[in-house]
């Protein structure tokens, strides 16, 4: 191979490299969006239990719109996703279920926005909990008043609540304020008819020791936490 051939090949690569880079840059957003779409379709239904309970085959479905962020179900922490406004379906075991969530709405700012300042107003509710009995294979959804303006949204937040509605439109339960000290949030797998208490479920639902410690830690008082840490590091 002659040196002139090498030079010709090198010139060809150099002359066409920018064009290829431009094509790659143009296709990157498309590829990124495709990944997001694929991810969103893969996570649109989330299981809310541990292990493989027999009643899972008859699981109910709770539909949550993008404005509702479910943080935990029956004490189990739910996954967080990069897209906050992602609508998700949650699979619920038949029986009593406790769902903790927040409501968030976003409003664009008008006028000039200073450097480093957010371009939107984010209005978020305090954590809420709703308890209801799920029927096998039934579908439920959140129902709430949607504000038409930012001012209206701000005024709604102190008294904000949702109603859980069945497929027939019948209201089943209304949400109330929730705090981490709520002892009814203990991780458990619900069973129909109240066959076991939360404490019994915590001890027998197959949870790992770490998960049990996390569940107990969430409902422990500050004094109990300090006492535990002193004991752990002695």
Nearest to 123 by CA among 150, 145, 142: 150
Predicted pLDDT of residue 200: 43
pLDDT, tens only, 60-93: 999 999 999 999 999 999 887 656 678 999 999 9
Predicted pLDDT of residue 85: 73
Task: Compute the Cα dihedral for 80, 77, 44, 24 and give only its sign.
Answer: positive
Are both 24 and 51 inside the same structural domain? no
Question: Cα separation of 22 and 68, whole Å?
Answer: 40
Question: Cα separation of 146 and 123, whole Å?
Answer: 12
Predicted pLDDT of residue 122: 92
Are both 209 and 99 inside the same structural domain? yes
Q: In the numeric block, which tokens belong to residue 18? A: 């920018």
pLDDT, tens only, 20-51: 555 545 554 444 444 444 444 445 679 999 99
Are both 194 and 159 inside the same structural domain? yes
Are both 124 and 224 inside the same structural domain? yes
> Does the structure show a pLDDT above 90 at 139?
yes
Are both 34 and 50 inside the same structural domain? no
Q: How confident is the model at residue 94 (pLDDT cuts 50, 70, 90)?
A: very high
Are both 129 and 217 inside the same structural domain? yes
| HSE toward the beta carbon, residue 60, CA cutoff 13 A | 23
Q: What's the distance, CA 178 to chain centroid?
A: 16
pTM of this structure:
0.63
Are both 177 and 209 inside the same structural domain? yes
Rounded to an integer, the average pLDDT of 113-140 is: 91
Are both 192 and 212 inside the same structural domain? yes
Residue with more model confidence, 197 or 130: 130
Question: Cα separation of 35 and 14, whole Å?
Answer: 31
pLDDT, tens only, 142-166: 999 999 999 999 999 999 999 999 9
% the chain with pLDDT above 70: 61
Q: In the numeric block, which tokens belong to residue 7? A: 């030079």
Q: How many domains does the chain have?
A: 2
pLDDT, tens only, 207-230: 566 666 766 666 566 666 777 776
Query: Can you list the positions of beta strands (E) in the chain?
Result: 45-47, 60-64, 68-73, 76-77, 88-92, 95-108, 120-124, 128-134, 139-143, 163-166, 171-174, 176-177
**What does pLDDT average to over the chain?**
76
Are both 32 and 66 inside the same structural domain? no
Are both 61 and 71 inside the same structural domain? yes
Among 15-24, 53-62, 73-82, 171-180, the least confident range: 15-24
Are both 146 and 218 inside the same structural domain? yes
Domain that holds residue 66: 44-232
100: which strand partners? 72, 129
Predicted pLDDT of residue 228: 76
SS3 143: strand
Are both 55 and 35 inside the same structural domain? no
Tell me which DSSP letter residue 120 carries.
Answer: E
């Amino acid at each position: 191979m002659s040196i002139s051939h090498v030079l010709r090949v090198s010139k060809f690569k150099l002359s066409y490299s920018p064009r290829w880079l431009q094509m790659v840059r143009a296709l990157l957003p498309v590829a990124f969006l495709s990944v997001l779409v694929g991810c969103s379709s893969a996570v649109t239904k989330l299981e809310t239990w541990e292990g493989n309970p027999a009643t899972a085959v008859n699981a109910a479905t709770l539909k949550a719109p993008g404005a509702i962020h479910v943080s935990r179900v029956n004490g189990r922490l739910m996954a967080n996703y990069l897209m906050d406004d992602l609508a998700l379906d949650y699979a619920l075991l038949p029986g009593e279920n406790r769902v903790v969530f927040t409501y968030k709405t976003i409003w664009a700012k008008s006028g000039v926005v200073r450097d480093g300042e957010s371009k939107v107003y984010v209005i978020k509710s305090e954590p809420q909990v709703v308890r209801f009995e799920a029927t096998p294979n039934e579908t439920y959804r959140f129902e709430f008043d949607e504000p038409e303006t930012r001012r209206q949204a701000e005024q709604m937040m102190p008294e904000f609540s949702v109603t859980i509605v069945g497929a027939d439109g019948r209201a089943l339960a209304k949400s109330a304020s929730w705090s981490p000290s709520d002892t009814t949030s203990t991780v458990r797998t619900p069973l129909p008819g109240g066959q076991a208490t939360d404490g019994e479920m915590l001890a027998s639902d197959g949870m790992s020791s770490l998960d049990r410690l996390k569940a107990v830690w969430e409902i422990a008082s500050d004094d109990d936490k300090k006492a535990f840490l002193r004991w752990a590091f002695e």
